[in-house]
A and B are shown apart, each in its own frame.
Chain A
Amino acid sequence: MSFVQAEFLKFLLLVLVFYHATPSFKVQNAIILLASCVFYGWWNTSFLALILAETALAFGAGLLIERTGRKNIVLAVASTLLLLALGYFKYANFFLGSLDDLLLLLGGAPDRRMLQIVLPIGISFHTFQAIAYMVDVRRGRIAAERDMVRFAAFSMFFPQLVAGPIERASHLLAQFQQPRQIDAAKIRQAVWLIVMGYFFKVGVADVLAPMADIGFFDKGEPNSAWWVIFGILAFTLQIYCDFMGYSLIAKGVALLLGFDLSWNFLFPYWSRSIAEFWHRWHITLGLWLRDYLYIPLGGNHGSRARAAFNLYATMLLGGLWHGANWTFVIWGAWHGMALAVYHLLLKDRLPAGRLRDGLGWMATMVTVMIGWVFFRVPSLHNLISLGRAFRNWDWYPAHGATLTALIVSMAAIFVLERLQRKAPEYDSSALLPPLPRAALLGCLTIFVLAMAMHTRVSFIYFQF
C-alpha cells in the first residue's frame, strides 16, 4: 500500500479507530503489527513472508547476542543472512550484468542472462534498521527485546516501513515499551505534517516529474540544453519534495498513533557546505552510515587522509545502497569525493562571513545538482547524450512555462521552509492562529486532491 492510494486513507482511519479504542498499549502494539502486515501485504503477500522472516531473524539474533558468548559470530551470521537477501533481490542482476561486461572487455562471450527478480519494496530500509538493532544490542547500548510482538511492530511499523526514516531501537522501540500519549497539540501537528507532506509530494514533486523526465529522456538524439538544465533543476526539487513529502506524511501518521519518528530532512537545500548537506539530507541514513560503517572503518581517527578515505568509502557504499546501477556508485563516489575535498582542503580554512556562506551555498548546490545528474540518468551512456544537448540553445515555448513552474515551486518551498525554520521544534503549525491555520489546511487539502487527478503519483524512494 502506498500513502498516495485511496485505500490508505480508509485503512488509516480504520487503524486509528481500533487503535485509540484500545486501552492497553500492548494490544495497540498488536494492532500496529497487524496493520503493518496488511499495509505491506497489500502490495505483495509473498514478500510479507520475507519481511516477517527477516524480522524474526533479527529478533532471535538480538536475544542470542545477549545470551551467548559468541556474540560476534551471531551478529556476523545474522547480518550476513540479511545482507545476502538484500544482495540477492537488489544486486544479483547488477553483478551478473557487470560480470558480463567484464567478460566482454576481456574478449569473452557473456551469455547476458538475467534473473527475473522483483525487488521487495523497502527492503533496504528494513535491512538497515534490523542490522542497526543487532549491532546496538551487541554494543550493549540497548537490551534485546523479549516481546516478539513488540519487536515486530517496531521492525515493521507501517508509517516508516517502506521508505524510512531508518529508526534506532533506542528511539522507536523504546516508544513501543510504554503507553503513548496523544493530545490536541499532537493531533494538530500530525494533521499539519500530513497535509504538508501531501502538498510537497503531489503539489510539487509530481508536477515537476514530467519536466525532469523530458530533461533526462534519452531519445538517441540531441536534446535541448535548456531542457537538460531545467530537467536537472526539476529533479533536484522533485526528489527532495518526493522523499521529504513521504517522510512528513510518515511522521504525521506516526504522531497520530502517538509515536515520534525522527526528522529525515531538515532544510538540506539551505546548506552552506556539502558536510552540512549530509547532516540535513536523509538524516537517518547518514547517521546509520556514520555509526555502522564510517566509525567501524576508523572514522576520523588517524590522519586526515585516512579519515577522508573512510568518508569516501562510506559514501561509495551509501551510493550502492540506493540502487544496483553504476550511476548510483558514481553518485556515491561524487559525494564521497566532495566530502573528502571539503574535509581535507576547505573545512575551517575559509574566513567566516556572508561571503563564505553565499559561496558555500552555491558550491554546495552545484555539487548536489551534479550528483543528481548521476543519480537520475538511466545509464552512463545517457550522460553522453546529455552532454551533446549543450550544442542546442534554442528556446522553445515549453521553456517559459517550465521556468515559471520551477520558480513557483522554489518560492513555495522557500516560504514553507522559512516558516518551519522559525517554528519551535520545526512545528510551523504552531505559528499560525487556529482560523488561518484551518483555512490554509483546507485550501491545501483541496489543492492536493484536485492536483492528484492531474498528475502521476508514485514515490521515488520506494525502489530503494
Chain B
Amino acid sequence: MLPLAEKRRIVADDSISIIVREQIERAQGLGDQDILLVGDSSCLMGVDAPLLSRLVNGKVGSLCTVGYLGPRGYASLVERYLAAQGKARALIILLHPVQMQRNPDWEGWADLAANDPPLPHEKSWREALYFYETQIFDHLVYAPLSGTWGEYYGSRAVLSRMVQDSGGAVEPAGIVGKQQTSFAPESGSDSFARNEAFNLALGRLAETVGRFGGQRVYLVITPQPQSDFSGLAPAVYQATRMDIAARLGIPAGNILELPPAMPDNEFATPTHLNLVGRDLYTRAMAAQLQSLGLASPWTER
C-alpha cells in the first residue's frame, strides 16, 4: 500500500504556488469588475479587496499574486482575464520596490502564469484523474501548510478558499508569533534600483496595458516601512514612479498618490502590511480612487 506516498506527498511549504494557481484560475472566471487589481504580494497582503469594494461601492477584483511573477506574469494574468471576456473599468498595477531587482530564477513563475495549468479537458485522462482527486482530497484531508501559514490558515484548502473568495490573503506573520515593530533599514535609495530583467518584463506588461487601454490603467508603488524609507530622497521615489509609468504607457496623472512609507508597526514583514496597515492603506486607496472618480457613481472614462 501507499506506493506513491513519498512521491506525491503534499509539499508543506506550498503557500505561494497555491496562491498563484488560485489566481490563475480566478483570472479566467472573475467576470466583469469595476476595478481590477494586479501586482505582487504587497498588494495581495496589503490591499483588502472586499473592503475596497465596499468603500468605492463597486466590484473590485484582485488578481494580486507574488513578486516572483513580475510584470510579465501580471501581464499573463490580465491576458487570461481579457481572453475570458472579462471587462473592467480600471486596472490598477501595484508594485513593491523589492521586486525591481529581478532574479532570473523567478522566470519559471512568469512561465507558470502564462502556461499553467491547462484546463481539465486539455489534460490526459491520468492527469485529469489526478487533478480531480487532488481537488477532492485537498478538501477532505488536512494538508498542513508550514510555519505561520499553517498556524493561521491551517490547510491548503482554507488558504485556497480565502484567495478564491477575496483575491487576497492575510500575512500571518504579523498575527501568529512575533509582531514586527521595527526593521533594519535596507539600502536607502538603492531600494528603487531596477535591473534589466525587470525593465524587460515591464516591456511585456506594457503590451497588455496597451491592449487594456492605457488611460484606464493606474500605477501604485506600494509602501515600505518608515525605517527603510527614511534615508531615501523623495526625488528618487518620484522619478522611479514616473519612469515605470512611462515604460508601461500609463499617463502620469494615473499614478496614485498613496503614502510611500508607513510606520514600521503597521507591517508584518518588511514588505507585507499587517491587518492594521492593510486596513489603513486600503482606506487611503479608496479615498484616492474617489478623488479620481473611480467610485460610485461611476462615470465612463
Contacts and interface: CB of A to CB of B under 8 A. Distances in A.
Interface of A: 4-6, 8-9, 198, 202, 207-208, 210-211, 213-214, 219, 221, 223-224, 227, 394, 396-402, 405, 448-457
B154 A6 contact: no
Instruction: List the 5 shortest-distance A-B pairs measured between CB atoms, nearest first.
Output: A398-B154, A210-B144, A452-B2, A454-B141, A6-B3
A237 to B, nearest CB: 12
A219 B149 CA distance: 14
Contact of B2 (A6, A397, A401): A6
Contacts of B141: 207, 451, 454-455
Contacts of A210: 142, 144, 150
Contact of B9 (A224, A450, A456): A456
A404 to B, nearest CB: 10
A211 B141 CA distance: 11
A286 to B, nearest CB: 31
Given A207-B142, A221-B177, A401-B142, A9 B154 contact: no
B154 A219 contact: no
* Residue from B2, B138, B140 having most chain A Cβ neighbours under 10 A: B2
A125 to B, nearest CB: 23
Interface in B112-145: 133, 137-138, 140-144
Interface of B: 1-5, 8-10, 133, 137-138, 140-144, 150-155, 157-158, 162, 172, 175-178
Contacts of A453: 2, 4-5, 8-9, 137
Given A4-B1, A211-B144, A455-B5, 6 more contacts: A214-B144, A398-B155, A401-B155, A401-B157, A402-B142, A454-B141
A396 B10 contact: no
A227 B151 contact: yes
Contacts of A396: 151-154, 172, 175-176
B95 to A, nearest CB: 28
A457 B5 contact: yes
A224 B137 contact: no
B158 A401 contact: yes
Contact of B154 (A207, A402, A448, A454): A402
B151 A451 contact: no
Nearest to A456: B9
A398 B153 contact: yes
Contacts of A9: 1
A407 B157 CA distance: 18
13 contacts: A9-B1, A214-B144, A221-B178, A396-B151, A396-B153, A396-B176, A398-B151, A398-B154, A398-B155, A401-B157, A450-B133, A454-B138, A454-B141
Contacts of A454: 8-10, 137-138, 141, 143
Contacts of B177: 219, 221
Contacts of A456: 5, 9
A452 B151 contact: no
Nearest to A409: B142
Contacts of B9: 453-456
A3 B138 CA distance: 25
Contacts of B153: 396-398
Contacts of A4: 1-2
A252 to B, nearest CB: 14
B1 A8 contact: yes
Contacts of A451: 137, 140-141
A329 B172 CA distance: 37
A9 B3 CA distance: 11
Contacts of A198: 1
Contacts of B152: 396-398
A321 B148 CA distance: 35
A454 B8 CA distance: 7
Given A214-B151, A398-B152, A454-B137, A449 B144 contact: no
A325 B64 CA distance: 48
A398 B10 contact: no
A315 to B, nearest CB: 33
A177 B99 CA distance: 75
Nearest to A210: B144
B137 A401 contact: no
A198 B1 CA distance: 10
A328 B143 CA distance: 29
Contacts of A405: 142
A454 B2 CA distance: 10
Contact of B150 (A214, A221, A399, A448): A214
Given A4-B2, A223-B151, A456-B9, A397 B176 contact: no
